[in-house]
Structure 1
Amino acid sequence: MSISFKAIAKKNPQSPTEPLRFYASAVSGKNVDIDELAKLIADNSTVSRADTYAVIISMLEQIMKDLAAGRSVVLGKLGKFSISLHSEGAATAEELTSAQIKKATINYRPGNELKDMLAILKFEKV
C-alpha cells in the first residue's frame, strides 16, 4: 500500500515574482466511516460489529465530556486529545476574562506508534 500524491503549483509568498514551484499533495483515497471501521474491527476480533460500534460511540461521548471538563485525554498508542484556547490579548493578567476567549480548538497529537508508521510510508505519484 502507498500514499498517492499529485504535483501542485505554488507561489513563494516571500518572493511572488519567482517562478511557480511544484510540491507534493496527498490524494485522499476512500474515507473509512464509523460503520466500516466497526465492521473491520469486528472482522478481526471476537467482538460483534454492534458491540464495536457501541464502544466507539461511547468512547467519543466520554472524550467529549472529559475535554469539556478541561482534562486531556491520553489514549496510549492512539494519541492525546486536548483543548487550546484563542483569545484577544489583555494588558494585564487581571484584565483577561472569559469574554476575550474567541474560540476553543481540539488538539490531537498522535502516539508514538502512529508517528513511527510515517517513517515506513511509500509514495506513488498519480
Structure 2
Amino acid sequence: MSVQFKVVRRAEPGVAGGGQYKYYASIKRDREVNMRRFVNAIWARSTVNVADVYAVIETFLQLIPEFLLEGQAIDLGPLGKFKVNIRSMGHLEPELVSAHSISNAKLLFVPGFELKEKLSTMRFVKASEEAIPEWMSSGTPTAGESETNQAA
C-alpha cells in the first residue's frame, strides 16, 4: 500500500505579506488507526484474547510516562526509542547552570533500524483531489477571495 499525499500552498516564513508562495507535498492524514482496530489486528495475529491485548497496551501506555519522568530512555528494539530531550540556556560558568536554565523539555522518538529500513521503501501516491482554485494556482486572489482564504 502507498502513502497518499496532497498539495499544499505555503507562504515564505518571516516575510511580510507572505512573500512568494510555493506548493509542497504533505501527507494526507484523513486515515487513522484507532485503538480498537489496532487491538483487533494484534488479536488476529496472536494467541491472546482481545481483553488481554487491551490490558497490555493500557499498561504500556501507563509505563511509558513513568519511565520518561524518571529520565530513562525506553528502547523498544526494532520499533525505536522514546526519550526526553531538553533545551537550556547557555552560561559562561558551569556553576551557573541549574534547573532554571532549562527552558523546554520534549519527547523524542528515534525509529529503530528495522523501522527505518521499512520506511525507506515507502511509496507515495498523489491523492485524488478537487481542482486547485484558480487563485491558488496563480498566486494572486481573484475578485471576492479574501486574504484569509489565501493563507489557507
Same fold by TM-score, threshold 0.5 exceeded? yes
One-letter identity of the residue aligned with 1:68: L
What aligned pairs does 1:1-126 form with structure 2 within 5 A after superposition? 1-13=1-13, 19-126=20-127
Q: Which runs of 5+ in 1 are unaligned?
A: none
| Greater percentage in strand | 1
Return the alpha-carbon distance in structure 2 between the equivalents of residues 59 and 7 of structure 1. Answer: 36
Count of residues in correspondence between the two structures: 125
- TM-score w.r.t. the length of structure 2 is 0.72
CA deviation vs aligned residue, 1:76-109 (integer Å, no higher than 9, x gap): 0110011111222323211111122222111100
Return the alpha-carbon distance in structure 1 between the equivalents of residues 107 and 117 of structure 2. Answer: 23
One-letter identity of the residue aligned with 1:2: S
Return the alpha-carbon distance in structure 2 between the equivalents of residues 28 and 13 of structure 1. Answer: 23
**TM-fit CA distance, 1:12:** 4.6
**TM-fit CA distance, 1:14:** 8.6
Aligned-partner SS, 2:96: coil
- TM-score w.r.t. the length of structure 1 is 0.85
RMSD over equivalenced CA pairs, Å = 2.0
- Give the % identical residues: 34
Q: Who wins on radius of gyration, i.e. which is larger?
A: 2
Moved over 6 A (4+): none
Structure 1 counterpart of 2:141: none
Return the alpha-carbon distance in structure 1 between the equivalents of residues 86 and 53 of structure 2. Answer: 33
CA deviation vs aligned residue, 1:1-25 (integer Å, no higher than 9, x gap): 11111112234559975x5332111
CA deviation vs aligned residue, 1:28-86 (integer Å, no higher than 9, x gap): 13221223211211122111111111111112222222211111110001100111112
